[in-house]
Amino acid sequence: MTQKPLAPIPADRIAKTFIEHYTKLAQTIADANQYGQSPGLETQYTAERSWMLHNYRFIKKQLTQHLPEAPKALTWTKPLDAFEQLFQSPTLTQLLHQDDRTVRDLLQLTQTAVKQAFHLTEPSKLAVS
């Protein structure tokens, strides 16, 4: 008896799920950046970071084409894109140790890329303070 292959997940469902997780991640980072870190925000960051670490690769190509080109670095590893920089730190506290402007710039860059990649026109859909 042969099993039928699993049907691929529809692209609109992947996009919707990514947008939901990205929005939670970005809002958590923005809140912590503005008001300070807290255990609740750290827990939210950990959950969204985990999701991103496991799933970002499936949508990376679609998103990175809407990011400015990363600077060329003479390293053995590929530089992280703006999305990866938001969830590369193991803790929210470590992420917030970056310059405040860097964090805000990353949030702005990624928000713009998400809007362009998914043709979002609703201004409140990705509102990050």
What are 59-106's pLDDT values in tens digits? 999 999 999 875 555 556 678 999 999 999 999 999 999 888 899 999
CA distance 17 to 23: 10
State the pLDDT at residue 35. Answer: 92
Burial (CB count within 10 angstroms: exposed 0-12, middle 13-18, buried 19+), residue 61:
exposed
Q: What is the pLDDT of residues 8-54, one digit of tens each?
A: 555 678 889 999 999 999 999 999 999 998 999 999 999 999 999 99
State the pLDDT at residue 121. Answer: 72
Q: Which residues contact 115 (CB under 8 A, 6 or more apart)?
A: 125, 126
CA distance 26 to 127: 9
Smallest Cα–Cα separation from 84: which of 46, 47, 57, 66? 57
Domains of the chain, residue spans: 12-70+78-117
State the pLDDT at residue 51. Answer: 96
